[in-house]
Amino acid sequence: MSQDNPSQAEFRAQVAAWMQDNRPADPGFLLPQTFMEVGSERVLEFLREWQHKVWSAGYLGMAWPKEYGGQGMSRDFQRIADEEMKRLQVPICFNVIGLGWAGPLILDNGSDYEKEKYLKGILNADDIWCQGFSEPNHGSDLGSIQTRAERDGDDYLINGSKIWTTMGNFAKYMILLARTDAQVERRYNGLSFFLAPMHRDGITTQPIQKITGEYGFTETFFTDARIPANCIMGEEGQGWRIAMQTLQYERGAEAGAAGGISILSIVMDDLLRMAAEIEREGEPLLQDPVTRDNLIKFMIEEKALQLAEKRIEIPALCRDYPNSIALSGKLRSTEFFRRMRQYALTLQGAQGSLYVGDQETIGGGFWQRAYLNNFSTTIGGGTSQVQANIIGEHVLGLPKD
Amino acid sequence: MTTSILNGTGNNALAFSDEQAMLLDSAKNFCGDKSDISAVRSHLQSDSGHNPEIWQEMVALGWTGIAIPEQYGGFAMGLGSTVPVIESMGRHLLGTPLITSTLASQALLRGGSEAQREQWLPKVVQGTVGSMALLDNEDWGAKLCGVTANQSDSGIVLSGKKLLVADATVADFFVVAINHNGNHSSNPALAIVEASQLATGAITANTLIDETKRAATVDFTGATISLDALLPHPEQALKDVRLIGALLIAAEATGTSAATLDSIVSYLTSRIQFGRLIGSYQSLKHPTVDILLQMDSSRSLIYHAATLIDDRPVAKDTEIACRMAKAQATETLLFAGDRAVQFHGGMGFTYDCDAMLYIRRAQWAQHQYGDAQHHRLHLAKLLLD
């Protein structure tokens, strides 16, 4: 953050001031820590209003073209706005599949018609997007996708089901990966990519209750659902390539995403603040030598993760295994947060056995939700164990099992 | 969704100059050429533990003068530039007195008088070896008072021993922590003692768990020094040298972790058991990935510390970086070396298997300039109080 030039520094201060002035009052219900926890209409409407406000103020889609609702500015400004939103822990910009996946994909690959039709609604939160990649029984192995899309006149006929559809019950559109050819030799070649409408006959959603007790995902069923043939992106058989392209935008505004924060950032400072309030045996917990040793271990790990993001920019210091940092970031950060949040509950003592809804919880059960929700990151997008296989095989060159 | 979910709190400076990159390249090549495993093994039983001709080549390359200012004949590239060289030495287990000598020269730079610097630093650049004599007991954080000093007509007469004095048999001078003139024992003075001032038989080689390293118990009893041999600013010098020592040992350990990982990967991709390459078993694959990730952390932390360290007194951020680097790097090497032995199966239990070299280095390195727990204890004071 110290590298800001004067105009960037001024902009950063301006964003910070706006966020502090406009941060919504406590709505009286728990706000989601991630975009995967939008489980009720009131939460949805709260977040829709917030995202609309952030966009109206000009802090979302800053690097997207003006004619599609953006600001046409440099990506640096969006990065700064995102950093400030993260630092100030304002509510998330929840329309993540649109902002971070579908939007940049349409900007890069879409026709003028598609850009006109979809982009502004993504930014102002009028149109919610969901993602239909994963299927029941196949986890993150996208090559095994079974949902069929058969050309029938001016339509595709969709049959099958998708799972872990975030906000599936609220979404107007889905980025859908489906099989258009079951005969090809390489199973990835039979997939196609669609910008599919959700409000169609034959499409139903079933909310999934999560480990936290909340909702936020659905299972989505397609039974002879018709979507217009022009919903396809690219050609039949290009779905795999486009899906992989979509995943590249996960790296944030610098990769073309609209920006905004999708996950509340919970860092060691938050854990230290919590620990500072707790006493054990009449002494502050932060004076306990065992606790101190454990906290410092976490702080060293957090520092190393932060530094990795800088070292990846210095090729001379990544010669041994050039793709190690890039391929291990997900595994490392999600597992770090899992253990750190688990430890937060350990430090709470008896109060750690309470849950959201009890008056006596620390922070309304913030850490309880944070820990349980974190499993979405160590499981989703390829479990930690799959990640370890990928690193072992693709970074170290170990044989497949 | 977002991979970058970490806040950039605190000082996360990380930079690597072209100069450092060139040093890293040339050191990697040099150490690889001069110190293959058979060369390493050929020195396990030797007195000095290193080849003096290779040491002279390192001197000729200028490595002894990297962190010494030009006015003393050095190359003024800064301590941060020693880190890639020492990491490369660790990678090939190249035994030399470079770490020892760098620390002794830093003690003079940071706490010595102009006359002391002018007397010794040009010699260090040319290959004269200095060594630090700090330890009275096993604890790097404990009081240093074992060597006492008494004023006599002929000068200051020392009495007492120091443990684990690195490369003592080849050192021309020692920087010794002593209790002088009622200095509180936790706040010792530093004195320069020349090897020629020691009594005959004063140096007794230690038998070390790491046979690639050399250290000795040095008895300073009877050595008589003048007041001029005392460093005028011992407190800052001692604090800084301990932290720089921690960083350099961490850099060396990180190089050795990389070598250990290479050795594991090589075995896992060639050894067949139960009809499969053993690297295909997840019970071996996943811990090996853990070693890689730990090594990544070590490398990020040592170069963060290398970015911050400079000629000035060690500041708080730099102290934090050095301590984190040491805590991380030697724990990484312990884990890697331990698993290297285990994953080599029956071979791993033999002296012939190179995993032996790595786990012994790990056990040695964890105790030099403070173990991980020692540094976490001090980090807690810096970060939690």
pLDDT single digits (tens) A93-142: 999 999 999 999 999 999 999 999 999 999 999 999 999 998 987 766 78
- The band of A187, judged by pLDDT with boundaries at 50, 70 and 90, is confident
At residue B67, does pLDDT exceed 70?
A: yes
Contact B45/A at CB under 8 A: no
Tell which residue, B336, B255, B268, B266, has the closest CA to residue B303: B255
Q: Which domain holds residue A306?
A: 268-394
pLDDT at A257: 83
Q: Does B222 share its domain with B241?
A: no
Report B:319-348 residues touching A (Cβ under 8 A). Answer: 324, 327-328
- The band of B140, judged by pLDDT with boundaries at 50, 70 and 90, is confident
pLDDT at B142: 62
Could you give the angle at the alpha carbon of B377 between the alpha carbons of B376 and B380, nearest 5°? 80
Of A251, A278, A313, the last residue of a domain is A251
Asked whether residue B71 is assigned to any structural domain, the reply reads no
Nearest CA in chain A to B266: A398
pTM: 0.91
Asked whether residue B206 is assigned to any structural domain, the reply reads yes
Mean pLDDT of chain A: 93
Q: Which residue has the higher pLDDT, A287 or B143?
A: A287
Q: Measured between alpha carbons, how far is residue B32 from residues A236, B91, B93, B99 in Å?
A: 53, 8, 10, 18
Tell which residue, A78, A90, A71, A73, has the closest CA to residue A18: A90
At residue B158, does pLDDT exceed 50?
A: yes
Measure CB to CB from residue B376 to each of A269, A293, A305 and give the nearest one: A293
pLDDT at B144: 65
Burial code (b: 16+ CB inside 10 Å, e: under 16) for B91-103 equals bbbbbbbbbbbbb
Tokens of A262: 């999708």
Handedness of CA A288, A289, A291, A296 (dihedral sign): positive
Residue A16 is inside which H or E element, if any? helix A6-22
Please tell me what DSSP assigns to residue A24. Answer: P
Mean pLDDT of chain B: 93
The number of domains in chain A is 3
At residue B9, does pLDDT exceed 60?
A: no
Contact B200/A at CB under 8 A: no
In tens, the pLDDT along B163-219 reads 999 999 999 999 999 988 665 566 789 999 999 999 999 999 999 999 999 999 999
Q: Tally Cβ neighbours within 10 Å of residue A9.
A: 14
pLDDT at B186: 64
Chain A residues in contact with B88 (beta carbon < 8 A): none
Report B:117-156 residues touching A (Cβ under 8 A). Answer: none
Q: Does B335 share its domain with B253?
A: yes
Chain B residues in contact with A296 (beta carbon < 8 A): 327, 376, 379-380, 383-384
* ipTM value: 0.95
Asked whether residue B203 is assigned to any structural domain, the reply reads yes
Tokens of A159: 């049959």
Contact B32/A at CB under 8 A: no
Q: Does A273 share its domain with A390?
A: yes
In tens, the pLDDT along A325-359 reads 999 999 999 999 999 999 999 999 999 999 999 99
- The band of B2, judged by pLDDT with boundaries at 50, 70 and 90, is very low
CATH number at residue A244: 2.40.110.10
In tens, the pLDDT along A141-182 reads 788 899 999 999 999 999 999 999 999 999 999 999 999 998
Q: Measured between alpha carbons, how far is residue B346 from residues A273, B149, B266, B349 in Å?
A: 50, 53, 16, 5
CATH number at residue A381: 1.20.140.10
Chain A residues in contact with B301 (beta carbon < 8 A): 300, 303-304, 307
Rounded average pLDDT over A377-398: 93
Quote the percentage of chain A above a pLDDT of 90. 82
At residue B66, does pLDDT exceed 80?
A: yes
In tens, the pLDDT along A193-240 reads 999 999 999 999 999 999 999 899 999 999 999 999 999 999 999 999
Chain A residues in contact with B384 (beta carbon < 8 A): 272, 286, 292, 295-296
Of B191, B214, B232, the last residue of a domain is B232
Asked whether residue A176 is assigned to any structural domain, the reply reads yes
Q: Which residue has the tokens 């300039």?
A: B369
CATH number at residue B183: 2.40.110.10
Q: Which domain holds residue B219?
A: 132-232
Measure CB to CB from residue A292 to each of B277, B281, B384 and give the nearest one: B384
Contact B57/A at CB under 8 A: no
Q: Does A212 share its domain with A314?
A: no
Contact B268/A at CB under 8 A: yes
